[in-house]
Amino acid sequence: MAQQFSGLPIKSLIAAPLKAAADANGMMARTQTQFMLSTCFEKGSSDTDPLKPIMITFTVTRSIIKSDGTPATPPTAEVTFTLPLLTIIPLNSLAVDNVTVNFEMEVKSSTSTDNETSSEQETAAKADITAKYNAGLFSVEVHGSVSHNSKTTSSEKQHYEASNQAKYEINVHAGQLPLPKGVTTIIDAFTKNIDPIMLKPDGTTPPPP
Amino acid sequence: MNIQTQIPCPDCGTPIPVDGAMLLTGTRFSCPNPQCHCAIALNSNDRQVVANAFEQFSYLRERAQHMASGH
């Protein structure tokens, strides 16, 4: 039975889906990069100009409350802030994060032999005997018969069953993976754009973080 | 198009969960921080830019899912 498993390309069965998943991740990463550069950035007038992030504007509504806790007049104030488009695209959701390879093989064989012998005799031999004797006034008559049956039956059954089953199942799940540190740093830097700039006491602005 | 994203609150920094489709309709999203009373909404002038980006991202995500399922 071990021979049934010796010829299996186990390495290929396991490595091939993992390599395919890695290739898919690489392809998705390249596609995401192209998407990020083409959709979330705009080119300058010349090829040497750096890419500029596309900014979108949000309106912030803030409540205004008096010191006694009652709503002021007007009760809300609206301000706007700009945010890079890149920061609201959930780019880190595109990746294969789980690959499961299930290989199940079943080798089953069975042999059975049935012998059946029966004997029955039935011989169809039959004889009739008749004898008659006359002695004056008396007469004697004798009748007799003999029969014999014979019959022989023999049967033999052999049964052999073998089955090979193989099941190869690959589960691939695309889920959320963390962004590379570099992209996270860029997004963090952009996100800080929405923080207010605090003036120094002398009226100058501090250097950007 | 079902895009869920987060935007940091400009006041307290708490991530505000944002639904992509609702964002494009001009819906205001309130900060989940109970101490913060901020609400943000996308400016109407930029809705088309964001809509295009979401559409391309949805297409990209669909391709990734097809790739993952082996089709």
pLDDT at residue A79 greater than cutoff 60: yes
Whether B70 sits inside 8 A of A83 (CB atoms) is no
A146 or A158, greater pLDDT? A158
More reliable by pLDDT, A167 or A39: A39
Residue B9: closest CA among B34, B43, B35, B39: B39
Give the lowest-confidence range in A74-78, B13-17, B49-53.
A74-78
- Ramachandran area for residue A38 (φ above 0: left; ψ -120 to 50: alpha; else beta): alpha
Global pTM value: 0.58
pLDDT at B42: 93
Mapping DSSP to helix (H, G, I), strand (E, B) and coil, where does residue B14 land?
coil
- Tokens representing A186 are 């860029």
CA proximity to B7, closest of B26, B29, B25: B29
Yes or no: say if A96 and A24 are a contact pair by the CB < 8 Å rule: yes
pLDDT digits (tens, 9 = 90+) for A81-96: 888 888 888 876 567 7
- Express each pLDDT in B28-52 by its tens digit: 999 999 988 889 999 999 999 999 9
Amino acid A205: pLDDT: 58
Residues of A in contact with B44 (CB under 8 A): none
- Let me know: does B18 contact B4? Beta carbons within 8 Å: yes
Selected for mutation to probe chain B from A54, A56, A86 (highest B CB count within 10 Å) is A56
Cβ of B3 and A90 within 8 Å? yes
The alpha carbon of residue B24 is apart from the nearest alpha carbon of chain A, in Å, by 12
Question: What is the C-alpha separation between A204 and B39, in angstroms, rounded?
Answer: 30
Question: CB-CB: which of B38, B50, B68 is closest to A174?
Answer: B68
Q: What is the pLDDT of residues A171-209, one digit of tens each?
A: 776 666 666 666 677 667 766 665 555 566 666 655 555
**What pLDDT, on the 0 to 100 scale, is given for residue A192?**
67
State how far residue B15 is from chain A, nearest Cα, in angstroms: 11
CB of B16 within 8 Å of a chain A CB? The answer is no
Measured between CA atoms, how close is A193 to chain B, in angstroms?
A: 10
Q: What pLDDT score does B27 carry?
A: 93
The answer to whether B62 and B69 are in contact (CB under 8 A) is no
CA B31/CA B41 separation, integer angstroms: 11
* CA distance linking residue A24 with residue A172, whole number of Å: 11
Q: Nearest-CA residue of chain B relative to A56?
A: B46
Instruction: Tell me the mean pLDDT in the region A60-65.
Output: 81
Q: What is the chain A residue with the closest CA to B11? A: A195
Which of B10, B39, B64 is closest, CB to CB, to A81?
Answer: B10
- Please report, as a single letter, which amino acid is at residue B8: P
Q: Which residue has the higher pLDDT, B60 or A163?
A: B60
How does pLDDT run across A100-129, given as a tens digit for each residue? 877 777 777 777 776 666 666 555 555 566
Cα distances (Å, whole numbers) of residue A107 to A102, A104, A141, A167: 17, 10, 79, 12
- Give chain A as a 3 state SS string: CCHHHHCCCHHHHHHHHHHHHHHHHHHHHHHHHHHHHHHCEECCCCCCCCCEECEEEEEEEEEEECCCCCEEEEEEEEEEEEEEHHHHCCHHHCEEEEEEEEEEEEEEEEEEEEEEEEEEEEEEEEEEEEEEEEECCEEEEEEEEEEEEEEEEEEEEEEEEEEEEEEEEEEEEEECCCCCHHHHHHHHHHHHHHCCCCCCCCCCCCCCC
CA distance B3 to chain A (A): 8
pLDDT at B4: 86
- The predicted structure's pLDDT at residue B49: 93
